[in-house]
Amino acid sequence: MAAAMSTTTTSSEPRWGLGDALAGWLVATLVGSILALLIFRAFGYTDQQVADQAVPLGLMFVANVPQWVGFVGAPYVAARTKGHGLVHDFRLRFRPIDVPVGVAAGLGAQLILAPLLSWPVLRLSGKSVAELERPARELADRAQGLGGTTALILLAVICAPIAEELFFRGLVLRAFEKRFGVVWAVVATAVVFGATHFQPLQFLALAGAGAVFALLAVRFDRLGPAIIAHMAFNAVTVINLLWLAT
């Protein structure tokens, strides 16, 4: 009898949904931004210095922690209180094959898809490639010495992909999937992912990459390939910018 009850509980539908995804996004984005500004001020940096990108990368890494905590915390809380855990609900699993698959998908998204999607944006807006790359270049310009380079790699290639994939391709994707089905879930997740970066010129490229990551999560039914692809996608930019800076 106890075994039968346990089986029923485990197989029941998780109760988390779009409300949990929205609440997690608000906490990670809004509360995370407020806490980041407070961290900058605690170290003596003004709002203008922050806007001018005059903050060391090490401090940028620290200031991003609240947002990452929000992105990881939202699916953790949702799965723990309304579901069956991160592994079961959001497919937080890895296999060795995820590495080559993810690297290939990430490189393709960065080197082929992103330029194709960015081209019409540049044509219609009259902006240049340099303006498109400015946010990433300004970030890389502060990667001075071993410490700065390490902070940049941790920031863009390790921590951000893990936190963002668990949230966007974990909670957000599966919440949309429960409500609207797989196709609309992939589209909606891509749009939300692109918009969350608040970079209009890069919106289409980021949304396209988000769609690739979502398709990987759906196709393989786990987050491993999407996380590796996201890491590879960001790593191409980081390596390119560090190479040009030398």
Specify the range with the lowest mean pLDDT, choosing from 9-13, 60-64, 90-94, 237-241: 9-13
Q: Which two structure tokens, joined as six digits, stand for 137?
A: 């270049």
Residue 237: CB partners within 8 Å, gap ≥ 6? 110, 136, 156
CA–CA separation, 86 vs 90, rounded Å? 5
CA–CA separation, 109 vs 213, rounded Å? 9
Q: Give me the pLDDT at residue 48, please.
A: 86
What pLDDT digit, counting tens, does each position of 56-75 carry?
Answer: 888 999 999 999 999 999 99
What pLDDT digit, counting tens, does each position of 140-158 carry?
Answer: 777 777 888 898 899 999 9
